[in-house]
Every structure is written in structure tokens, then in C-alpha cells.
Chain A
Amino acid sequence: SYDLTQPPSVSVSPGQTASITCSGDKLGDKFTCWYQQKPGQSPVLVIYQDSNRPSGIPERFSGSNSGNTATLTISGTQAMDEADYYCQAWDSSTYVVFGGGTKLTVL
């Protein structure tokens, strides 16, 4: 099986930059994306294909993926960004795998 590791929690002050990491063996060779999930809601795709933003997602969300680590960066973090964030990877043998999630707190 293939495992993705995320920090359980990240804290950030309003207006600052939040970085959430996702680690996995040779993750940079795989297709990755990120989801935001608020309590009681379905996940929302915020980054796909490592660094692309779907329509309607604010420009403050960005992503990168290299080596063994993918990173979701939120610039100018707002209170509304407080949520759980999940990374997801795909390859031809394991198909879709999710990370354990990171709770982002905006203090």
C-alpha cells in the first residue's frame, strides 16, 4: 500500500502564510491534489494536478510537488480558510490514496 503523511495540525495568524505538507515515497512522480473540508460539509477541490486551481478557488491557494513532498500554501490566510485539508495522490498501481488530513487553525 501507499501512505501519505500530513501533520495533524497547523496554526496560522490571519493575514500570514500557511503551509501544509504531504509526504510520500517519490510523491513528486505522482499526480496530487488538495481538498478543503469544513465541518459537516463535503470536501472541496482547491488544487489539482499539483498546482492548478479550479475555477472559483481564490488565488491565495497554491500548490507544489517535488521529491517526496507536496505542499499546499495559503497566502494571506483568512478566518474562512479554517478547515481540514486533505492531500490525495494517484498512480496506476494504488489508484487513489488520501492523506490523514491537517486541521488548519486561524488564530
Chain B
Amino acid sequence: QVQLQESGPGLVKPSQTLSLTCTVSGGSVSSGSYYWSWIRQPAGKGPEWIGRIYTSGSTNYNPSLKSRVTISVDTSKNQFSLKLSSVTAADTAVYFCARALSGIYHDYWGQGILVTVSS
């Protein structure tokens, strides 16, 4: 059974960089069958896709966030990470990591981590 677990600070100051890590167990980020995604969900709203990464390191990002987002993968640790720069209160949300079957369908999700942007 694949499990994903997000970790990182729950509070980030405005203008700083949000950094999260997703640790995968029961599966490998090196598997060629999947992409690995970051998705966020503000309170009371629908999910918003942030971006995805393949085991090769190839990435795709949401055009609306592309200038501020970096997703990377560490196959030795079976982890992938998210960095979102120049955050504002609008970036406050629950952040999920997920496995993307065929790069499209998110079949396994982490439990999510609430990140609040506030001074």
C-alpha cells in the first residue's frame, strides 16, 4: 500500500519561501509509471494543482504559479519537494502531495498539511 506523508513548517511569513517535502513509502518515486504532484486546497474551496515531477526530474507547473514554483525529486530518499517563493496570505491552504497515474489521475494522496502565511 502506497503512503505519502507531507512535512514542513505550518507557518510561513509573507514574502518568504514555503518549503514542503513528501516522503513516499510502499512505492518508489523512481517508478516509470507515475508522476508525483503537489496540490493545494484553501479552506472551503476546491483543489488547485500546483505541479508535477517525473522520476527523471522533468516538471510541469500550473501556469498561474509557474514563476514562483520549483518541484524537485530525491530518489535516494524516495522524496519529492515543493518550494513556493514570495508567498502571501493567498497561499494559505492545505497542501497535498499525490501520486499521479499516467501523470493525470491522482490515485494516492497524503493526509495534507496546513500551511498558514502570516507574520
Do A45 and B104 touch (CB < 8 A)? no
Interface centre among B52, B62, B110 (most CB of A within 10 A): B62
Partner of B49, one of A33, A45, A54, A98: A98
Given contacts A45-B105, A48-B105, contact A96 B46 (CB under 8 A): no
Do A100 and B46 have beta carbons less than 8 Å apart? yes
Q: Give the size category of A's interface with B.
A: 20 to 34
The size of the chain B interface, using a CB distance under 8 A, is 23
Cross-chain contact A35 with B106 (CB below 8 angstroms): yes
In the assembled complex, B37 has its CB within 8 A of some CB on chain A: yes
Which among A48, A86, A98, A100 is the interface contact of B101 at CB below 8 angstroms?
Answer: A48
Using known A-B contacts A96-B49, A98-B48, determine if residue A45 contacts B64 with beta carbons closer than 8 Å. Answer: no
Instruction: Give every chain B residue within 8 A of A98 (Cβ-Cβ).
Output: 46-49
- Given known A31-B104, A43-B47, A86-B46, contact A95–B109 (CB-CB < 8 A): no
Interface set of B (CB-CB < 8 Å, partner A):
37, 45-49, 52, 60-64, 96, 101, 103-107, 109-112
